[in-house]
Every structure is written in C-alpha cells, then in structure tokens.
Structure 1
Amino acid sequence: MRDDQITRLQALSERLGEVVITEVDPHNWPAAEKLPADLTQEERGNRYWCKKNAAATMTLLLKVVNIAGIMNRQKPAPDAGHAVDELDGELAAAEREAQAIIERMQKAGNVS
C-alpha cells in the first residue's frame, strides 16, 4: 500500500473508533431506560440489532487497525538508516573505550 493509503486508513480507524464508542453505549440503544423484562418484541429486536451492529463495527475497526499496523511494520522507518549508523558509532566508541581499559590494565600488570 502507498503511504497516503496507510495514513487514510489510520484516520479512518480514528473515526470508526468514535462510531464504536457511540454504538456500544447501552444508553444509545432503543428502550435503554427499560428493564429487559419490560421490553416489547420490537424493542428487543431493535436492541438486538443495535448490539449486532456495534459488534460488526468493532470487527471492522479491528480489521482496519490490523491492516494499518501490518503495513506500518512492513515499511522501514524514515530515519532507520540514521538510527543504525548512530548505534554503530556508539558501539564502536564503546569497543574503543573497552580496548583502552584492557590496555591500561595490561600495562599495570592486572591482566595477562
């Protein structure tokens, strides 16, 4: 996928997240103020439909987030080369410092 498509998927996942939050809120379901025993058949059906719809939206959100995450992991970070060079430099400096310590200890007679 192109970078712009991944960015659009990420934006879409944020909007879907807001929809999920609204749809899973029981206060937004039909006859929210009623006890289950007091629901009419139509209210029960509508409420059940709202739950199924919320679950379907949640599934859609998870799939979009998963795809966007996979695509982000597959592309190299923009500064990945710089980070590797920086780590190589730090490693080389640490090796030089360790070698200098070993040489000083050998001169002092502490290491054979």
Structure 2
Amino acid sequence: MRDDQIVRLQALTERLGEVVINEIDPHNWPGADKKPGELTQQERGDRYWCKKNAAATMTLLLKTVNIAGILNRQKPAPDAGSEIDELDGEIAAAEREAQAIIERMQKSGNVH
C-alpha cells in the first residue's frame, strides 16, 4: 500500500475505535434502563441486533488494526529502534486480549 493509504487506514482505525466504544456501551442499547423481563419483543430483538452489530464492528476494528500494524512493521522508521519493538508488543497484547473477548462472547452465544 502507498504511504497515504496507510495513513488513511490508521485514521479509520481511530474512528472505528470511537464507534466501537459507542456501540458496546449498554446504555446505548434499546431498553437500557429496563430489566430483561420488562423488555418488549421489539426491544429484545433490537438489543440483540445492537450486540451483534457491536461485535461485528469490533471484529472489523481488530482486523483493521492488525493490517495497519503489519504495514507499519514493514516500514520501520530509521530512528525508532526499540520503541517499535515495545509498541509492537503492546499492539500484539491488545490484539490477543480483544480476540479473547470476542471468543468469549461467541462461546457464550452473544455473537454468531
């Protein structure tokens, strides 16, 4: 990819991060202040859709972050040295943690 495309991809990951934060917030789901037994059928369906959509957006973010990370590793800055290794480690740890969260959600039946 061209350098300008990589920069745009990185900017998109930041915007996707904001979307994920908004979508995974249970206060933004339909029927947020209700107990599960008080939800209407419509609210239950909409709430379930919100959860699935949030999980899909998070997956998209993870894949985008992963691609951006790979592209960044292919073009290290000449003076970055150990900072790149440290950041790569942090990114890898964050990706593993996010993947573990998604897998737990899938195992619990919240994501298909």
Please, what TM-score do these two structures have when normalized by structure 1?
0.68
- What SS does the aligned partner of 2:33 have? coil
- What SS does the aligned partner of 1:27 have? helix
The unaligned stretches of length 5 or more in structure 2 are: 82-112
Describe how 1:86-105 pairs up with structure 2 within 5 A. Answer: none
Q: Give the whole-Å Cα distance in 2 for the aligned partners of 1:79 and 1:21.
A: 34
Q: Give the whole-Å Cα distance in 2 for the aligned partners of 1:4 and 1:14.
A: 16
Q: Give the structure 2 partner of residue 32 of structure 1.
A: 32
Q: Give the whole-Å Cα distance in 1 for the aligned partners of 2:78 and 2:72.
A: 11
Q: Give the structure 2 partner of residue 67 of structure 1.
A: 67
Shift of 1:75: 1.5
Describe how 1:1-112 pairs up with structure 2 within 5 A. Answer: 1-79=1-79
- What SS does the aligned partner of 1:34 have? coil
Task: Name the aligned partner's letter for residue 14 of structure 1.
Answer: E
Task: Name the aligned partner's letter for residue 6 of structure 1.
Answer: I
Task: Name the aligned partner's letter for residue 10 of structure 2.
Answer: Q
Shift of 1:4: 0.8
Task: Name the aligned partner's letter for residue 29 of structure 1.
Answer: W
Task: Name the aligned partner's letter for residue 57 of structure 2.
Answer: T
Q: Percent identity?
A: 83
Task: Name the aligned partner's letter for residue 41 of structure 1.
Answer: Q
Look at both structures and tell me which one has the larger radius of gyration over its CA atoms: 1
Q: How many residue pairs get matched?
A: 81
| Cα deviation digits, residues 58-99 of structure 1 (max 9, x gap) | 00000000000000001232447xx7xxxxxxxxxxxxxxxx
